[in-house]
Amino acid sequence: MPPRRKPASATTSAATSALPSTVTSAATSRSPSPEPRQPFRFFDLPSELRLRIYEELLLVHDTLDLEPSNYRRILPRLALFLVSRRMHEEAYRVFYAQPLRLFPVHGRFFYTKKPLLQRLPPPYRAAVNTIELRLGPGWTKPPRCQDTWREELGLQDCSNLRKVKIMVEIDTSDSIFLGFRGQNATEDTYKSFCLELLRGLLVRVPSLEMVEIDAYPGVKKDSPLVLALRRLVQNERSSIRLTWGPLRGWEKEGDEAGEIGLERAMAGLGLGSASASASASASASASASASASAVPTSASQQQNAARIVQVQA
């Protein structure tokens, strides 16, 4: 029979099992322990640098409005308000300094009774300094909720509002809208509605300093609606500065092409303008007169022309 193996003693197995743990613990105790991370002292930065950081994180470079995409585009940025009370006080003033649309244009919120400004608390309304007013959506039947004289809208809380940007999309005073203005509507119906919106802003916001008017390519500088808006600003509040927006480039006298690519290209080619048609008619008349003068009229001229042809032959 083969000899039996002797069982390992308890002392040997205990020493063997304890050896690796002892070596590991000793090696671990010799390695330096990592220093605890200190939080970044954000408020020790200069206020100018903090402001630039807020602008980088909060500005969307577009007009604030009620839109379905706000959950993806804006809501993540507002998490900065929840960091601390001090950061909230500094951040919301930067965020609401962006242009804010007074009445929504998206179809989902177009007939809402509570626009974005009305949904904001008074401290946020006080931080708004630019409001955009779009004229054109719903021109056949403007919503009754679009009223700048309502107390619930909250314009009286906009103590820092300095600028109103008006974008004229269409002017229904044009004869092309005849028969499409809505029931019992005339060429002045929608124009009166737009003027009442602007009048409410001028009366209810005493801090207003500037009104900017811009328009789409189909609206001219001398259109009835644009002229009426300009006249209202000058009559109601003569101290307000009236400027023209960058889209059409109306700062110069006349109705010149603005920053819209197609309009600028057509203007460069001389298409669709009165000067182009005038120059075309002038060139046509000049060519016609030149061709007429090239034809010999008298008998002597006809004889001279015949001689020249014979000599050349």
Give the pLDDT of the chain (313 residues) as one tens digit per residue.
Answer: 555 665 555 545 544 554 455 555 555 556 677 788 888 899 999 999 999 999 999 999 999 999 999 999 999 999 999 999 999 999 999 999 999 999 999 999 999 999 999 999 999 999 999 999 999 999 998 998 999 999 999 999 999 999 999 999 999 988 888 888 888 888 899 999 999 999 999 999 999 999 999 999 989 999 999 999 999 999 988 899 999 999 988 876 555 545 555 455 445 555 444 444 444 344 444 444 434 443 444 455 555 545 544 434 4
| CA dist., res. 300 & res. 78, Å (int) | 92
User: What pLDDT is attached to residue 255?
Assistant: 56
User: What pLDDT is attached to residue 116?
Assistant: 97
CB-based contact 155:117 (threshold 8 Å) = yes
User: What pLDDT is attached to residue 296?
Assistant: 43
Q: Where are the alpha helices (DSSP H) in 74-166?
A: 85-95, 116-119, 122-127
CB-based contact 121:174 (threshold 8 Å) = no
> 144 and 190 share a domain?
yes
> 69 and 178 share a domain?
no
- Classify residue 93: in a domain, yes or no: yes
User: What pLDDT is attached to residue 34?
Assistant: 78
> 148 and 200 share a domain?
yes
Indicate whether this model's pTM tops 0.75: no
> 69 and 113 share a domain?
no
Task: Using the 3D structure, point to which of 230, 248, 268 is the last residue of a domain.
Answer: 268
Strands 241-244 and 100-101: unpaired
Domain of 56?
42-98
User: What pLDDT is attached to residue 28?
Assistant: 53
What are the phi and psi torsion angles at 110 (to 5°)?
-65, -35
- Classify residue 277: in a domain, yes or no: no
> 60 and 177 share a domain?
no
User: What pLDDT is attached to residue 253?
Assistant: 59
- Classify residue 16: in a domain, yes or no: no
Residues forming beta bridges with residue 168, ordered by sequence position? 135, 215
Rg (CA), the chain: 38
> 117 and 91 share a domain?
no
- Classify residue 295: in a domain, yes or no: no
- Classify residue 19: in a domain, yes or no: no
Task: Using the 3D structure, point to which of 246, 268, 290 is the last residue of a domain.
Answer: 268
> 143 and 234 share a domain?
yes
User: What pLDDT is attached to residue 280?
Assistant: 38
- Classify residue 82: in a domain, yes or no: yes
User: What pLDDT is attached to residue 298?
Assistant: 46
User: What pLDDT is attached to residue 97?
Assistant: 95
> 66 and 182 share a domain?
no
> 149 and 243 share a domain?
yes
- Classify residue 54: in a domain, yes or no: yes
> 172 and 220 share a domain?
yes
> 179 and 50 share a domain?
no
224-236 helix and 189-204 helix, angle to the nearest 10 degrees: 30
User: What pLDDT is attached to residue 21?
Assistant: 53
Domain tally, the chain: 2
- Classify residue 311: in a domain, yes or no: no
User: What pLDDT is attached to residue 241?
Assistant: 95
| CA dist., res. 76 & res. 70, Å (int) | 9
> 138 and 196 share a domain?
yes
